[in-house]
Amino acid sequence: MKRVHALGLRLLLGVFCAAAALGAEPSPTRIDRDIEYARVGELTLKLDLHRPSKDSQLPLIVWVHGGAWRSGSKESMPLGPLVEAGYPVASVDYRLSTQARFPAQIHDLKAAIRFLRATGSRWNLATKTIVIAGDSAGGHLAALVGVSNHHAELEGTVGTQLNQSSDIQAIVSFYGGSDLTTILQQSTPKGLSVRVPALDLLLGAQPDAVPDLARLASPVFHVDPTDPPLLLLHGDQDPQMPINQAHELMGAYRKANRPVQFEVVYGAAHGGAQFYDSERLAAVKSFLARHLPQH
């Protein structure tokens, strides 16, 4: 019991330190859970809205959870210190690959963005500027949403706010994928054990069997001179999502002469607390302050 209590105290202290490093005292936050943003047949799609204790006009962050496209949920949202620093975060559930194949996941996320733009005034959200962020498979989806503004095939018709824009103004990808046509060649044996079955579910086949679909699902093939600023964070020891995926996306951004920042987390594998510690979240905040209007 004493050990559990000590662990709890250390975790609490870590949250306070992260918030302090972000330039704000830790403060209570509000969570509005299970907000319905769309329906697909009998399936209800929901999001959780994490808000600072006081209304803020900082950009809204849409969070996309990971889980190899086939698992995970909106309950996994590691950006609490950013909420405490004034950034509202909408953590979104989307159809998993066990429920629907690609591009259903992108259609759902764009529907969530349109919903938030249409209804943000209910929660006093500043939705003119929206950031999309995610980790692992969620990082891949976040990047794809961000670089596919105005892409008709990826827009979809999910939801009822089709008159709203799904455009994104900044992207943050934590150890996400970017090129499904090269990811398997770059992967370790451990990575292959995860990615091969995951891609079968997501695409309905391996990428080389459905090359057009694999390209459609790969952010690197959508980058153009109009794309929003991009922040990449990736561990140099990642055995599941090759760090070359981040290098590829950075290269595509540089070729298009778009703003990109790559933070290598040295010694880090795939995920973990160090991606969301005070140093890394301070880098996220600095990136957003540099590239987006702050109200």
DSSP 232: E
Alpha-carbon distance of 31 to 219, in angstroms, equals 31
CA atoms of 256 and 112, how far apart (whole Å): 28
Rounded distance, CA 111 to CA 37, Å?
Answer: 7
Per-residue pLDDT at 4 exceeds 60: no
Which domains, from first to last, does the chain contain? 28-291 (3.40.50.1820)
pLDDT of residue 1 exceeding 50: no
| pLDDT tens, position by position, 189-247 | 988 999 999 999 999 999 999 999 999 999 999 999 999 999 999 999 999 999 999 99
Count of CB atoms situated within 10 Å of the CB of 254:
13
Segment 171-182 shows an average pLDDT of 98
* pLDDT confidence of residue 200: 97
pLDDT for res 28 = 78
Dump pLDDT digits (tens) for 253-295. Answer: 999 999 999 999 999 999 999 999 999 999 999 999 999 976 5
Instruction: Read off φ and ψ for residue 17, nearest 5 degrees.
Output: -65, -40
CA distance 242 to 265: 13
251-255-261-263 Cα dihedral, nearest 10 degrees: 10
CA angle 24, 130, 59 (to 5 degrees): 25
DSSP state of 124: T
- At residue 65, the 3 state secondary structure works out as coil
Judged against a pLDDT cut of 70, whether residue 2 lies above it is answered with no
Is the confidence at residue 26, as pLDDT, over 80? no
Q: What is the DSSP letter of 134?
A: E
Q: Tell me if 136 sits within 8 A of 67, measured CB to CB.
A: yes
pLDDT in tens, 138-154: 999 999 999 999 999 99
In this prediction, what percent of the chain has a pLDDT beyond 70?
A: 90
User: Considering the entire predicted model, what is its pTM?
Assistant: 0.91
Query: For residues 42 and 107, is the Cβ–Cβ distance under 8 A?
Result: no
pLDDT of residue 27: 62
Supply the pLDDT for residue 69. Answer: 98
**Of 34-38, 191-195, 246-250, which gets the smallest average pLDDT?**
191-195
CB 134 within 8 A of CB 89: no
